[in-house]
Chain A
Amino acid sequence: MSKYLNFIAEKNQVRYLTITVFFLIFSFFWIYPLLWVLSASLKTDFEIWGGLGLIPDKLIWENFERAWFGANMGRYFFNTLIITVVSVVIVVITTGMFGYVIGRYAFPGKKILIGILIATIFIPQGYTIIPVFDLLTDLKISKNLIGLTIATAGHTPVIYILLFAGYFSRIPVELEEAAKMDGAGFIRTFIMIMLPLTKPVVATVSILQVLHAWNDFLLPVVITLGNPDIRTLSVGVYAFKGEYFVDWSGMAAASVITILPIIILFLFMQKYFVEGVQGAVKG
């Protein structure tokens, strides 16, 4: 149940309006940079640096054409899409399985496993990226999307496991016993009965992984260092900045191509984003 301390009374209209107006102005300044890049992506270079206004004189869709084809953002878009989708599938299956047994069963070695997992939360990324790069090279998958996808999936699963484990542990035992009576084995119980019950966690974990995979920078920038074909969008825009430094509007369009899909996803699935984020402090 939600709880609210309503110290802003609707009856006290002056206070109510003051606070609303303040937050409206605050919100405008807050998203101005995002609106600015959106508007810049449809302007001419000259107009971008001309004023603070956000409405373009004439919509220049060619900026997107230039970014998509000329700067190869089209290819990077599909790279990012593949990495994101596949890594979400891998992450949901593997952490779901792991969370299931951690949350519901006792077995020798469980405590050690949990201990190792918790310890990994606190290890900073900057320090493991070099051996990851090296490992992918040794496995000969550093030059294609497979390596980047697997590494993206393997990088941060701990919070997902905790979310799954917490949810699975709250499902009543009777369900499992009934399944056993019906002759369902371990795997069938998991797939047919348990996993469908955890849809909210699957959604939350998927969203978090989409966010992570789509927006990741350090891993893809290092892996694609000598291999521009498998760049992701973030790395692509970064490289764009180095290569075509004067094409401001094209770069703005490339930025919009990168951030708009996630913003739209966020607007439609806000609930799961918020739950995923809050899960980190609630546990």
Chain B
Amino acid sequence: MNKKSLTQQMYEARWCYLFVLPCSILTGMFVLYPIGMSWYFSLLDWSGFTKEAKFIGFQNYAEAINDPFFWNAFYRSFIFMFGTVPVKIILGFIIAVFLNNQVLKLSPFFRTVIFMPVVTAIAIIGIVMTFIFSPFNGPANKFLMATNLTSAPIDFLGNPDTVLPTVMGVYVWKWLGITMMYWLAALQTVPQDVYDAAKIDGAQGYRLWIHIILPIVLPFAIVIILVEAVSALNVFPLIETMTAGGPFFSSEVMEVYIFRTAFVTDAGTMPRLGYACAAGVFWGVAVLFITALQGFWMRRTRRI
């Protein structure tokens, strides 16, 4: 009856500890340690390339909060998120509903095609898209001119008004395949008899969608929104390779801002790793806050 002591339990589980060790070391080195260090670096006045570093407390944070570029990048990241996630969720759902039809013979082919951009390297997509949207005979402009949709070429990536929507469009194109796959998985969880009922129902089908199928896939929707929202805040490679935040910082999202302050040396400016870390910490906390909020929302909906 008497319970084993903790040391006894731990001794018996010695193999378990051995097995978790390699992965724990890797995670510790490349995930946990960097998080801790970035908090520490954020308190330093440090270029990152020399040994000289001065402890300056929260001055980096104070400077970030007073930098309009910081806040512009901050808001832009959220504009990016709110502009892409709903489009992906709705478009992905519509496509999934169609391609979930077993009768549609070419459905596997369409799925493959729509998923294709997902597997291609994001940096390459960014670079290729600078060609596609080039104002000098780029295919996008050629097509628009040939079909008389515009009379003069549009400088998609060179105009501060069009650059962000263009990058957002490319982002949706690149990752829509994943959203579609999520929805296809969700649709597979709807019980077969519900589908059969829908088949018999015929004309009243749309009601069945709204009142029966949608509530069944709703818990999925929340997980999908959560996953997609977080990934829409991690768009560094696409923007860095497409526009590098330009023109005139008009597509600079938070990660590009952090990268620029940490590594890019424009004429006369020094890289500032300490400051970049402060911006990164601030950003990380903001993202974590949003994730927590969504997690809370998810729990509430599940309970109902």
Contact = CB atoms under 8 A, between A and B. Distances in A.
A281 interface: yes
A131 B124 contact: no
Interface string A50-93: 11100000000000000000000000000000000000001001
A218 B256 CA distance: 10
Contacts of B104: 8, 16, 19-20, 23
B20 A101 contact: yes
Nearest to B7: A108
Contacts of B102: 2, 4, 6
Nearest to B22: A94
Nearest to B227: A280
Nearest to A241: B127
A123 to B, nearest CB: 6
A218 B262 CA distance: 13
A190 B146 CA distance: 63
A187 B15 CA distance: 8
Q: What DSSP secondary structure best describes chain B's contact surface?
A: helix
B188 to A, nearest CB: 6
Given A3-B195, A130-B38, A237-B123, A19 B98 contact: yes
B120 A259 contact: yes
Given A3-B192, A108-B6, A108-B13, A127 B19 contact: no
A157 B139 contact: no
A170 to B, nearest CB: 18
Given A7-B205, A134-B37, A98 B136 contact: no
Given A40-B131, A215-B122, A262-B120, A126 B23 contact: no
A274 interface: yes
Interface residues of B, number: 108
Contacts of A101: 15-16, 19-20
A123 B142 CA distance: 42
A197 interface: no
A153 B142 CA distance: 43
Given A238-B241, A259-B121, A131 B37 contact: yes
Contact of A154 (B26, B187, B240): B26
Interface string B109-151: 1101111111111111101111110001101001100100000
Contacts of A280: 182, 227
Interface in A125-144: 125-132, 134-135
Interface string B170-208: 000100001001101111101110010011000001000
A30 B27 CA distance: 38
A274 B181 contact: yes
B127 A263 contact: no
A94 B31 contact: no
Contact of A161 (B23, B113, B277): B23
B224 interface: yes
B35 A123 contact: yes
A281 B125 CA distance: 25
> Interface centre among A105, A234, A251, by most B CB within 10 Å?
A234
B80 interface: no
Contacts of A5: 97, 100-101, 187, 190, 195, 198-199, 213
A127 B283 contact: yes
Interface string A24-67: 10110011111011001000000001111000000000000000
Interface stretch (B62-70, B82-90, B154-162, B284-292): B284-292
Contacts of A1: 192
A45 to B, nearest CB: 11
Nearest to B253: A126
Interface of B: 6, 9-10, 13, 15-17, 19-20, 22-24, 26-27, 29-38, 41, 48, 97-106, 109-110, 112-125, 127-132, 136-137, 139, 142-143, 146, 173, 178, 181-182, 184-188, 190-192, 195, 198-199, 205, 213, 220, 223-224, 227, 230, 233-234, 236-237, 240-241, 254-255, 258-259, 262-263, 273, 276-277, 280-281, 283-284, 287-288, 291
Across chains A and B, which 6 residue pairs bring their CB atoms closest together, nearest first?
A154-B30, A107-B13, A131-B37, A127-B280, A128-B34, A131-B34
21 contacts: A3-B187, A5-B199, A6-B102, A23-B98, A23-B106, A31-B117, A33-B128, A126-B254, A127-B35, A127-B38, A127-B258, A128-B30, A132-B34, A134-B41, A151-B30, A154-B31, A222-B263, A255-B124, A258-B121, A262-B120, A273-B115
